[in-house]
Amino acid sequence: MSVLELKEIYKIFGSGHGHIALKNINLGLDKGEFLAIMGSSGSGKTTLMNVASTVMKASSGKVFINGLDTEHLTEEELAILRREKIGFVFQDFRLIDNLNVKENIILPLVFNGLKVDEIHNKLNKIKDILNLEEIIKKKSIYELSGGQKQKIAIARAIIHEPVILFADEPTGKLDSNLANNIMNLLQEINKNLHMSIIMVTHNSLSASFCDRVLFLRDGEIYNEIYNGEEKINFHKRILDVVAFLGGNTYDL
Ligand SMILES: Nc1ncnc2c1ncn2[C@@H]1O[C@H](COP(=O)(O)OP(=O)(O)OP(=O)(O)O)[C@@H](O)[C@H]1O
Ligand SMILES: [Mg+2]
């Protein structure tokens, strides 16, 4: 079953002929699938994430989340859908500095109106899954390293058990070691919790953790490749497409 389905999506910015940021995108994300989106700067990756997560309305085309047609939902209904079914992770973590580590993590549960003991249970569960025992003791966000901040941001993004996790360049601000740690974590979340993940990345090694890589070029799907048995081989195949698109891995 698809947890996300995009049908003939177009996104045009500006008036008149405008700028076509997305052109006839057809895409399905299976339950439990881990999908990477690659493509050069300006190719439409973030726009695709915004439209797919209902943060931004498409100019035309349809977005189904968990089988639900989102087209005629009101802004309020969309906000509830996002709060309950979707998690977001960003390159710049977007933690709230004047809340402590625990408060940052439980924020979605507070917004969803859960009772204190339910919040407690879910926090304990996420603490075990992500091994947060030590980090969670730290009071302030300022005491965390970049990798730790992203770990907390991921905890916050999944604590309400969303159907889909959207991650826009989650390893973009981390060095390669930390990026690998975060990718291992996302892979565990994907495999153990069967959470569907859609992730934008410029990093071919990060993309090689995924089940499938989709390449955008000028707002269109240019190519997609599937992960087979061997991870090293998959990484090489990703690099081949990246080279063909005319970039090295870090300027894609
Ligand atoms: N709000 C907006 N208004 C007008 N044009 C926009 C808007 N958002 C994006 N665009 C344009 O749409 C195109 C795609 O932008 P998008 O941010 O999706 O690219 P991207 O692939 O995420 O790039 P990057 O790798 O740099 O993050 C770009 O040409 C951009 O200038
Ligand atoms: Mg972007």
Cα three-residue angle 102-105-109, rounded to 5 degrees? 115
Q: How far is the CA of 217 from the centre of ligand 2 (A)?
A: 13
The proportion of the chain whose per-residue pLDDT surpasses 70, expressed as a percent, equals 97
| Position 250 pLDDT exceeds 80 | no
Which residue lies with its CA nearest to atom 17 of ligand 1? Answer: 46
Residue 251: per-residue pLDDT:
47
Q: How far apart are CA 120 and CA 138, in angstroms?
A: 17
- Tell me the residue type at 26: N
Residue 228: per-residue pLDDT:
82
Residue 178: per-residue pLDDT:
93
Structure tokens at 106: 């439980």
| Position 77 pLDDT exceeds 60 | yes
| Best residue for ligand 1 mutational test, from 13, 41, 220 (most atoms within 8 Å of Cβ) | 13
The answer to whether 184 and 156 are in contact (CB under 8 A) is: no
Q: How far is the CA of 40 from the centre of ligand 1 (A)?
A: 11
Q: Which of 62, 83, 80 is nearest to 72 (CA)?
A: 62
In a domain, 9, yes or no: no
In a domain, 67, yes or no: no
Q: How far apart are CA 127 and CA 198, in angstroms?
A: 23
Q: What is the pLDDT of residues 106-115, one digit of tens each?
A: 999 999 999 9
In a domain, 239, yes or no: yes
Q: How far apart are CA 205 and CA 180, in angstroms?
A: 8
Lining residues, ligand 1, CB within 6 Å: 13, 19, 21, 39, 41-47
The answer to whether 215 and 224 are in contact (CB under 8 A) is: yes
What is the pTM assigned to this prediction? 0.94
Please report the atom of ligand 1 found closest to the CA of residue 44: 18
| Best residue for ligand 1 mutational test, from 20, 38, 43 (most atoms within 8 Å of Cβ) | 43
If phi over 0 gives left and psi between -120 and 50 gives alpha, with beta otherwise, what is residue 108? alpha
In a domain, 25, yes or no: no
Q: How far apart are CA 252 and CA 245, in angstroms?
A: 8
| Position 248 pLDDT exceeds 70 | no
Q: What is the pLDDT of residues 4-52, one digit of tens each?
A: 999 999 999 988 788 999 999 999 999 999 999 999 999 999 999 999 9
Residue 102: per-residue pLDDT:
94
Residue 230, C-beta contacts closer than 8 angstroms, at least 6 positions apart: none
Give me the CATH number covering residue 230. Answer: 3.40.50.300
Domain count along the chain: 1
Q: How would you list the strands of the sheet with 68-69, edge to edge?
A: 19-30, 2-13, 60-65, 68-69
Which ranges constitute the DSSP H helices of the chain? 45-52, 75-85, 101-111, 116-130, 146-158, 176-192, 204-207, 231-244
Q: How far apart are CA 216 and CA 225, in angstroms?
A: 12
In a domain, 246, yes or no: yes
Q: How far is the CA of 180 from the centre of ligand 1 (A)?
A: 27
Domain that holds residue 146: 31-57+72-251
Q: How far apart are CA 104 and CA 95, in angstroms?
A: 7
Residue 17: per-residue pLDDT:
81
Residue 247: per-residue pLDDT:
66
| Position 249 pLDDT exceeds 80 | no
Q: Euclidean distance between the first and final Cα of the chain, in Å?
A: 31
As a whole number, the mean pLDDT across the chain is 93
Neighbours of ion ligand 2 (CB under 5 A): 45-46
Q: What is the pLDDT of residues 161-203, one digit of tens each?
A: 999 999 999 999 999 999 999 999 999 999 999 999 999 999 9
In a domain, 14, yes or no: no
In a domain, 114, yes or no: yes
| Best residue for ligand 1 mutational test, from 19, 90, 169 (most atoms within 8 Å of Cβ) | 19
Q: What mean pLDDT is predicted for residues 213-220?
A: 96
